[in-house]
Structure 1
Amino acid sequence: MSWLTDPFSLEFVQRALLGGALVAVLCAVAGTWVIIRGMAFLGEALAHGMLPGVALATVLGLPVLLGAAVSAMAMSLGIGVLQRRARLSYDTSIGLLFVGMLALGVIVISHAGSFATDATAILFGDILAVGVGDLVVLAVAVVVGVAAAVAANRSLVALAVDERVARVLDLRPRLGRAVLVGLVTLAVVASYQAVGSLLVVGLLVAPAVAARQWTERIPTTMALAAVIGAVAVAVGLLVSWHAATAAGATIAATAIAAAGASWALRAARDAAVRRRPVLVPVPS
């Protein structure tokens, strides 16, 4: 069993495992609502929307987490402005800012003259470099995310069911929408250090998709998604250690594979149930 325990005997791998587990919990809370609302594109867009801020922070020597947060919040506000002022649809607003922010980030990185190295770190992260400070940030983000989701639960549920009905019943769907965007922004920014801006969407969406195959209740989906995400982190780290692959990308690929396996198992179970013969009682 040394092949299983040896990697996790090292402190930096233990920190990576703990950090990844915290990311899995945070992404499970936000990702469940993302799946219910069909807003996976928002997570992808915000992940790219961080790029200019992270690039500028890297070039200027500022904390990259600060740059990521400012850039992601600017994109979130920009989406709302385009919807209200330019009267563009939600998807159109996200699409425009998605491309614009990504292009701006690449321009900043390329102008700095270290495109290859910086872009790799920004896009794919380095979970094996997670430190104690990063763990504290992630733990605080988990507490804030869970507290926000609990406090705005009624508005989030109403928004998920029917926004127009929620508005009529004064269930504050706007608050639900704002909290949802805030949760996704928090998850993407806090998870940036662990898996990078491109791969964070894997942990945001895939575990929730896998969990949704087995339960319809929102709290249960969140809990199961957190477990699936944490297992994906552990398996991804183990595979990465023995196969000498990028840890962040391997974790994201493992999470996506878990979603695919969950779907296949659910389909196989449903097919077996349909084929099961129905016993008709014979009248005596």
Structure 2
Amino acid sequence: MAILAGKAVVITGAGQGLGRAFATHAASHGAAVVINDVDEPLAKQVADLITLKGGRAVVSGGSVADPEQAEAMVDTCTAAFGRIDGLVNNAGIRYQAAIGVDDPRLMRELIEVNVLGTLYCTNAAVQSMRRGSIVNLGSVAMVGQPTALAYSASKGAVASITAGAANELHERGIRVNAVCPVAWTRMAAADTKAVPSGSPETIAPLVTYLLSDRAAKITGQLIRFANGRLHVMGQTSPKEPVVERADWDVEAIAEVFERQLVPEDPAWVRWGR
């Protein structure tokens, strides 16, 4: 039996790139899919492709930055397929700009789509989802990338949303994970320092797996999938040693940092710029 047989899934930003790959792959493994995109004709092309191959798909246009549109996507899913079992918060934007010359209007738009869109869609989905899986789109950019401050901030927020929602929804049987992929898409091309990499189709099997019951024990994880390498990323946590004193002054703090809390290279150095 197909791994997603009987499941209904909403995928945002699915008109092209990663979202299109996630939608077609999920449908090929039995899922009924709601294709969301701000470009509704593109979304319809993907839905038509799925139905032409014998799958089930419907379109729900509109921006994830509009909470009413987020609710409409879920309503479309339950009306068309009688249920919602999965949500892929894929919709997102990015651009490059140096700190100090960034455009506040673009900052706001990016946060509204990448962060509020993820919150709005998650909030809407869990109202109707009895059990299931939510997959967010994270990024290693969350550790900080030059000329991408707003985007990095948004992906840091997505990591927090993933951890918080996984914790809160665990008892309801709803799993929440984030995929941090590397694939050559239109968004990746907006990163002037990005190196061409694999196609969006190489990432899709991971998302299909996370949507399936085979991943029933996987929740609250940031999962890196890049250039044939798959691994779970560490969440923020205390690092040993934890130094305790009754009294602290500047000299004591300086001494501890110089002798005991020797920092390793920051994450943006370890992961590369």
TM-score by length of 2: 0.30
Q: Taking CA–CA contacts closer than 8 Å with sequence separation of 6 or more, which of the two structures ends up with the larger relative contact order?
A: 1
Q: Give 1 or 2: higher strand fraction.
A: 2
Which protein is richer in helix relative to its size?
Answer: 1
